[in-house]
Structure 1
Amino acid sequence: MTPFRAWPDPRPPGLPPPTASAPYADELRRLIIAHKENARYALARPLGGVLATTVLSALGEGRGVWLCPVPSARRTVRQRGHDPLRRITKAAVRTLRRQGIDARLADALRLVRRPDDQAGLSAERRTANLAGAFAARSRWAERLTDQPVLLVDDVITTGSTLAEACRALESDRIPVLGCAVIAATRRYSASGS
């Protein structure tokens, strides 16, 4: 897999540069769903390896990074029996550290309002649905000031979730370098235009 810039089309305002490892299709799609929905915990390690490759591409020449996963609703985590993205992010951190990158997990976001289900919503409706859904955890503001921070998620569709998460961090003066995701749906423009 060769990571690529995965700008959604249309691009939501405030979205930092998103990097994905592959299109959300075929075997990768099945692996993400099996880990997320069927609690196939062992898949966190290979998916974390894919995410680590994406992080390296998004990071460029940097040697240190804080990875901030987009949080899931507590109810969703309880229903699944685990927090898939956090598990994958932890695996990515371990992989990156073995490669000499000073990677760390930053649980700097919290969900303050549970948005409606996003399935079937247009890009504009997703943006409206997510407005104000996230907030930065204040104890992270000082720690992450002037640090390289990447938002991470499993899949980027319209980019609305990542744009809102970025807004929440930056409103607390936590600058976001970019986004790293495992996969991108076909709603992207690889050219970045």
Structure 2
Amino acid sequence: MTAYRGPVRSMIVEYKDRGRSGLAAPLARALASVITEGVLPEAAVRGGVLLIPVPSARRSVRRRGGDTMLGLARLAAAELRSQGIDAAALGVLRRMPGTPDQGDLGGAQRRTNLNGALRATGAVSGTVIVVDDVTTTGASVAAAWSALTSAGAHVVGAATVAAARLDTDKP
């Protein structure tokens, strides 16, 4: 994982918010690298792994013309398969209606915004890794992990392309 600044930040913003789909491949390779270098347990290498992305707000998905994080997770899974790791990506998490987008919130608000706001749309079996593009407070990953565990998934870790430092003075 790298810092969410400079060229990495520009790539993520361009991919997610400006439709630069050509940036998906290098971002997916970076995500796959984080998974293989720091998250993927040996058991998953033998039995396969399921990448489940933190869902974006419905408004963001509509504005972007699709689920950019699910696309990134699918490409990361393909990269892992090219390395001989049985991997797939599924978009099985949904935000409950009325949940504000995390990007508009400060640190304390982020930590409470997603409590109980994510639900798995079906049963999930196998070794699961939660994936996201950027982690700020970890609230999104924690909410996804909780929702998946409640649905019976065996979550073994989380991976993001980059980490941002949130201004902790915001409410």
Using the size of structure 1 for normalisation, the TM-score is: 0.78
Q: Percent identity?
A: 41
Q: Secondary structure at the match of 1:176?
A: strand
Residue 59 of structure 1 aligns with an amino acid whose one-letter code is: L
Work out the number of aligned pairs and report it.
Answer: 162
| One-letter identity of the residue aligned with 1:174 | A
Higher relative contact order (CA closer than 8 Å, sequence separation 6+): 1
Asked if 1:168 is matched to 2:147, the reply is: yes
Query: In the alignment, is residue 159 of structure 1 matched against residue 138 of structure 2?
Result: yes
Q: CA deviation at 1:94?
A: 1.0
Unaligned segments of structure 1, at least 5 residues: 1-20, 188-193
Residue 159 of structure 2 corresponds to 180
Higher helix content, 1 or 2: 2
TM-fit CA distance, 1:25: 1.1
Residues 1:114 and 1:55: Cα distance change in structure 2 (over 3 Å) = farther
Runs of 4+ aligned residues of structure 1 deviating over 6 Å after TM superposition are none
**Is the Cα–Cα contact under 8 Å of residues 39 and 82 in structure 1 kept in the other structure?**
no
List runs of 5+ in structure 2 lacking aligned partners: 167-171
Alignment RMSD, CA only? 1.6
**Mean alpha-carbon deviation: is it higher for 148-157 or for 106-115?**
106-115
State the distance in 1 between where 2:6 and 2:147 align.
33
Provide the C-alpha distance between the structure 2 equivalents of 1:79 and 1:65, rounded to a whole number of angstroms: 30
Distance 2:127 2:155 in 1: 7
**Residue 75 (str. 1) matches residue 75 (str. 2):** no
Aligned pair partner of 1:149 in 128, 146, 153: 128
The TM-score with structure 2 as length reference comes to: 0.87
Which range moved further: 84-93 or 74-83? 74-83
